[in-house]
Amino acid sequence: MKNVAVAVAALAAAPAVLGAVTHLTDDCLEVVFKLMNNMSHYSWENGTRSQAILEWKYPQLSVFTPNALFPVADTSNISDIVDIAHWVLLQRPQPLNQSQEVAWLLNATHGGLPPSPSPVLPAQEGESSTPARRDRAKRQDETPTSSASAQPSATSSTPIIVPFLNNTQLPLGAPLLPDGAAGDPASLGIAVMLANMSTNNAVVNNSAYGDSATSELNYQLYHVPRAPNGAISHRTNEVALWADNVYMVPPFLAYYGALNNNKTLLDAAYNQISTYRSVLRNSSINLWQHIALGKEAIDPGYWATGNAWAVAGMARVIATIKHSSFANDMKQEVSDLSAWADEIFKASEALVTPNGLVRNYINNASSFEDSTASALFAAAGLRFSTLKVTNSYVNFSLTLLKAVSHNVNSTGYVTQVTDPLKFTVEGTESPEAQSFVILAYAAYKDWDKMGKPGNTGSKKDPLTDAAGRASVHVGAVLAVAASMFWVLA
């Protein structure tokens, strides 16, 4: 009896069990998915989570669907996407009056402090308030006071040409959430646009979904500080370019443009990636540094997740262009984006460790091996295949996804991750790593359905181990152990 109890305890520990296999089952991924939902709190985490939900649960609404995306398919039953958008609008302070709006815009444009925001309305009975979260300190790049604190009301005008920043005749606009990062709230823009379609532009906390999305668009195009080359800053109170921005802002601009048949916005998405690349790319090694130009956060290193954010953002913009009405007019832009991603993929693939992962600082041999960036690279590489752009990154992606899958522990947490609040060190858990695993497996499933293009291995399932075994959900392991207990008893 004692020996059986010890065996059950050993099975419950389970990292060794999952470590013996490489392909996570749907039951395992459901646990990863639930943790993703419970752990996400900050704007970029929930923006990434919403994208993972779309690709995993509503693939017909993802920009990666092989079918025509615009106009968008049925949005009548997307309650968890609407819940995220609802939470966003609950966080938005009450609109300011016209004179306050003008004062805020002038102050925000020139670095001044905004009026204090109004309190957030409490959720009504039966309404979702906020995603489950863990209490955490502010991210290392957050500042105590954000110049995005106040939220002017939305405008109905759709911007076409970006004016000079000192032009006071600007359409009113504001971010979806108060945030020291100008770029991160935009990652929630697609969820808000889908909620607009699903609810017929419902009003929450005195803000309508569609108007809020337009306000975020105007904020990005007209009021966020810009670098000399026109790159929209990732920060609100200074010009700072972060590689992360390529996943947050350009996909939102492209989606808004495709949805509204506005090629100028698709061009803007492409141009933003181009301007970011011109500043962040090191042409001698073809990797992007993490942060440039800013003073409040400085990181000239080649952060793996930043490079993964960049190629994954490029994949989303390519997908949006290809499924828009302007696909034939933007073949050169797609070609350019593909070539820019290829630079990063090739440089990164050459630096994969013997354990099948990339390091947190990808070209630094002393940096820890990182599941976070590895999972997002895997997702992006497989997406370039499902988009029929190239199969060149399939083997790279499979190598990474196998290794990351080994690092999903018995309770569904992705281990060996970058600390989400301090990107220079290893952390114990990461909401974005949870999302990236879901994105990678969503991409893998689509790739598998297409017949595994580019797969050079001989196994039917390239993610299984040499014996062809797939992973077993820990609940099933414990069930087997319990049955052993009763049989032996």
Which of 432, 373, 423, 371 is CA-nearest to residue 142?
Answer: 423
CA angle 151, 251, 65 (to 5 degrees): 130
> Does residue 22 contact residue 45 with C-beta atoms inside 8 Å?
no
Residues sharing a CB contact under 8 Å with residue 343, sequence separation 6 or more, in sequence order = 281, 286
* Residue-range domain boundaries for the chain: 22-131+148-471
- Cβ 369 vs Cβ 358: under 8 Å: yes
- The number of helix segments (H) and strand segments (E) in the chain equals 17, 10
Q: What confidence tens digit (pLDDT) does each residue in 23-61 have?
A: 999 999 999 999 999 999 999 999 999 999 999 999 999
Kindly report whether the peptide bond that precedes residue 122 is cis, defined as omega within 30 degrees of 0: no
Pairing label, strands 426-427, 417-418 = antiparallel
Q: Are 254 and 316 in contact (CB under 8 A)?
A: yes
Give yes or no for residue 131 having a pLDDT over 90: no
User: Structure tokens of 380?
Assistant: 């992006």
Give the global pTM: 0.82
Percent of the chain with pLDDT over 70: 74
Q: Give 353-375 pLDDT, tens digit per residue.
A: 999 999 999 999 999 999 999 99
CB half-sphere exposure, 341, CA atoms < 13 A: 32
DSSP code of 125?
Answer: T
> Who wins on pLDDT, 260 or 123?
260
Task: Work out whether the CA dihedral 162, 165, 169, 174 comes out positive or negative.
Answer: positive
Is the domain spanning 22-131+148-471 CATH 3.40.640.10? The answer is no
Question: If you average pLDDT over every residue of the chain, what do you get?
Answer: 81
Per-residue pLDDT reduced to its tens digit, 47-99: 999 999 999 999 999 999 987 678 888 899 999 999 999 999 998 866 555 55
Percent of the chain with pLDDT over 90: 67
3-state secondary structure of 453: coil
Say how far apart CA 22 and CA 452 lie, in whole Å. 17
